[in-house]
Amino acid sequence: MRFQAILLLPLLGLSSARLEPNYTSSSGVSIFNPSDFFDPTGPWSLMSQAGDTLYIAGMRGIYPSNSTLAPVGLPRIRQAFQNMATLAEMVGADLNACVRLVVYTTDMYRYRPMCNDVQIELWGADANKYPPRTIIEVDRLNQDDILEVEGTFYVPRAGLCG
Ligand SMILES: *[C@@H]1O[C@H](CO)[C@@H](O)[C@H](O)[C@H]1NC(C)=O
Ligand SMILES: *[C@@H]1O[C@H](CO)[C@@H](O)[C@H](O)[C@H]1NC(C)=O
């Protein structure tokens, strides 16, 4: 409950300002690296938008406030999903606008149940509201992390009156 309240906070500021892309290609692909988030750890960006589709980079459980990792386990996984949600909210989407999730984890048995718990916290208990998900066990993630989530969202540009 407390977590959901925290998540909704960024939504309150949305109506006033729309996030400006850092770059828009000639074909109309917009790239976003919002300054009030952690900096990408390499030659990649946090989000892109093409038409009505928003692509968010694989998110891990890094605190945007100080770029450190949340404690291993549930807090780390929760932070990864929260980072994805925060970025989506910055461009006017929310979790129910998610059309697809891909989750990478280094231990399916240990972390898949935690991932499920976090998703139930975030999306609620209605089994009809969960986005389609692919979850894959991998050998290694950056910084020997445990889980990374990649979300794709539907963000109709017409619906954003910026
Ligand atoms: C992206 O744009 C934001 C402002 O919207 C700016 O603060 C930030 O520094 C930019 N990022 C890069 C990598 O230029
Ligand atoms: C980083 O920020 C998080 C959340 O704001 C906090 O819980 C954590 O203690 C901070 N870590 C460090 C090393 O400052």
Long-range contacts of 10-14 (CB under 8 A, 24+ apart): 10/86, 10/89, 10/90, 11/89, 11/94, 14/89, 14/90, 14/92
Instruction: Please tell me the residue having the least CA distance from ligand 1 atom 6.
Output: 35
Q: pTM higher than 0.85 for the full model?
A: yes
- Average pLDDT along the chain: 90
Bridge partners (DSSP) listed for residue 23 = 31
User: What are the residue ranges spanned by the domains of the chain?
Assistant: 2-159
22, 36, 39, 48, best to mutate for ligand 1 pocket (most atoms within 8 Å of CB)? 22
Task: Mean pLDDT check: name the lowest of 1-5, 42-46, 120-124, 147-151.
Answer: 1-5
Between CA 21 and CA 126, with CA 145 as vertex, the angle to 5 degrees is 70
Between CA 155 and CA 162, with CA 157 as vertex, the angle to 5 degrees is 115
**Which token pair is 69?**
């990792």
Instruction: Please tell me the residue having the least CA distance from ligand 1 atom 14.
Output: 22
Q: What is the pLDDT of residue 4?
A: 52
Q: What is the pLDDT of residue 124?
A: 97
CATH code reported for the domain at 2-159: 3.30.1330.40
Helix (H, G, I), strand (E, B) or coil at 130: coil
pLDDT band at 14 (very low <50, low <70, confident <90, very high): very low
Task: Mean pLDDT check: name the lowest of 51-60, 79-88, 105-114, 151-160.
Answer: 151-160
Q: What is the mean pLDDT of residues 17-26?
A: 90
Q: What CA–CA distances, in Å, run from 107 to 134, 140, 146?
A: 15, 10, 7
State in Å: Cα 78 to ligand 2 middle: 15
State in Å: Cα 118 to ligand 2 middle: 20
State in Å: Cα 19 to ligand 1 middle: 10
HEC string for 49-62: EECCEEEECCECCE
63-89: pLDDT as tens digits: 999 999 999 999 999 999 999 999 999
**Measured distance CA(103)–CA(51) in Å, rounded:** 24
